[in-house]
Amino acid sequence: MNTKSIIACLVGGILLFMWQFLSWTFLNLHASNQQYNPKQTEIMQFLGENIGADGNYFLPNYPPGTSMEDQQKMMEAAAGKPWAMISYHSSMDMSMSMNMFRGLVVDLLAVAMLIWLLMKFQNSNFTTVISSSICVGLISYLTTQYTNSIWFETNSMPDLIDALVSWALVGGWLGYWLNRK
C-alpha cells in the first residue's frame, strides 16, 4: 500500500467507525431492535435461574439427537404459537475499549479491502468509486442483516440506513481522494 492508499484507508475507516458510533448512540437508529420491557428484572432473574450457559437460544427448539420425524412433529406443534430468540450472558461487561478497538480495526480492514478492489479498476472516477462503495455496503446488508430479518422477523431498516449512509460517506471520501492527482 502506498501513502495515498494508507491515508485513504485511515480516513475511510474512521468515517465508517464514526457513522457506526453515531448510528448506535446519538441517532439511536437501532432502538426498535433493543426495546425496553418493564418486567426486565423478573425476566432476567428467570433466565438466570433457567439457562445453564451463556449463548444464543431459539425457542421452541428440540434437543440434540431428536429424529427428523420428531423434529417435524415439534415444529408443527409450535406453529402459530409464540417463539423467541435469546442471547444470554451471565455477566454484563461495561468495558467498551476493546470492542471499540476491534470495531475500528474491522472498519479499517473493510476499507482497505474496498481500496484494493477499487485499485483493480482501469477507469475509475468519483461516480464509479462511490457507486462501487455503496454496492459493497448493500451486498453486505443483503447477505447478512436482511437475510436474517427474513428468517427471524426483525426490523432491518436501521441496518439498511447504516449500509447506505456509511458506505456512501466512505465512497465519497475515496472517490475524492483516490482520484486526486
pLDDT score, position 146: 96
pLDDT-derived band at 69 (thresholds 50, 70, 90) equals very high
**Does position 181 have pLDDT exceeding 90, yes or no?**
no
pLDDT score, position 60: 93
25: its cell numbers: 448512540
**Does position 3 have pLDDT exceeding 90, yes or no?**
yes
pLDDT score, position 1: 77
Q: Residue 180 and residue 175: Cα distance in Å, rounded? A: 9
Supply the DSSP symbol for 34: S
Contact 62, 31 (CB under 8 A): no
The residue-averaged pLDDT of 67-84 equals 94
Per the listing, cell 447504516 goes with: 162
Provide CB contacts within 8 A for 160, sequence distance 6+.
141, 145, 146
DSSP E strands, the chain: 55-59, 84-88
* pLDDT tens, residue by residue, 14-63: 999 999 999 999 999 999 888 899 999 999 999 999 998 999 999 999 99
Share of the chain above pLDDT 90, in %: 87
> CB neighbours (10 Å) of residue 170?
29
Supply the DSSP symbol for 125: -
Average pLDDT along the chain:
94
pLDDT-derived band at 64 (thresholds 50, 70, 90) equals very high
pLDDT score, position 33: 86
Share of the chain above pLDDT 70, in %: 100
- Residue 136 CB burial class (10 angstroms; 0-12, 13-18, ≥19): buried
pLDDT-derived band at 94 (thresholds 50, 70, 90) equals confident
Measured in residues, the chain has a length of 181
* pLDDT tens, residue by residue, 148-174: 999 988 899 999 999 999 999 999 999
